[in-house]
Structure 1
Amino acid sequence: MSFDSSDLRRARQERERAPSSTLALRVPRWAADRQSQGVTTRPRSYTGPHRTLRLLRRACRWQRRVATFAALGYFALFLALTVEVPELMTRPAPGGLPTGLVLALLQLPVTWLAVILYEFTARRYVDPLARRVRRHARASAATEETQP
């Protein structure tokens, strides 16, 4: 017996449909009350120390992930080849060494490449952001000292 889920999919799509544009333009009552009282909110600043900190955190996370996946990905590939394709790993490589041993010896250069990649991205992307955060911190500390 076959089962056709197209009717179920269509019903689910209708339920999860985005709200109409007229509903999206309505202002909530609490916001309308604040506007009528003359309360205005300051627009969010997308520049400044908080944005720079967010960018710095994002750059550090990206940097750690890339370096980790480079090193651990190669190691996981080596382990998977060892388990799944042992005949490939025992086959002699150019130079007379088994392919598995050559791949195992290549783990050290791959790890060094991950470290070099980490250092390169740190100097290129993360360090300028850290300098900018430090500069904002110094500027805010100087303004706090001058104010009574």
Structure 2
Amino acid sequence: MVAGVTASALIEVFRAVVRAGRGFRQEEQRSAAALLAFLDHAGEQRLGQLACGLAVDPSVVSRQVVGLVRDGLIRRRPDPEDGRAGLLSLTDEGADWLRGHRDKEAQRLLAALDRWSEDDAATLLSLLRRLEDDVRGLSTKESPRAH
């Protein structure tokens, strides 16, 4: 059983890693990457679904969407089930931008892992995936829909 002190230390290390990673990117790029990655993973979405999935206010997503549509990275089409709503999806240009962004991020991580063995990196990946599964399992159990 993991002690509370260890769990707190893990949270602080995760936060420090995220903060350090943020230093590489501008806020606008982080926001665009998160939005595009969500669409890439989840597929076509309404703006409200997108905001919920990103855990941000719909007004924030709405502002981002305007710029990403203008830049040709996402497309908006009317929702056939509700003409008042729109559906958002990744364009080919958006997928290319996201691929390039992920490649740059992977290169930065490779540089950070330069002195790591393949076994150490594989162990970290395995443990992080296990943690992700366990955290998702908790949030599913705590969700009102799960009861």
Q: Which has the higher strand share?
A: 2
Higher RCO, 1 vs 2 (CA within 8 Å, ≥6 residues apart):
1
TM-score (norm 2): 0.29
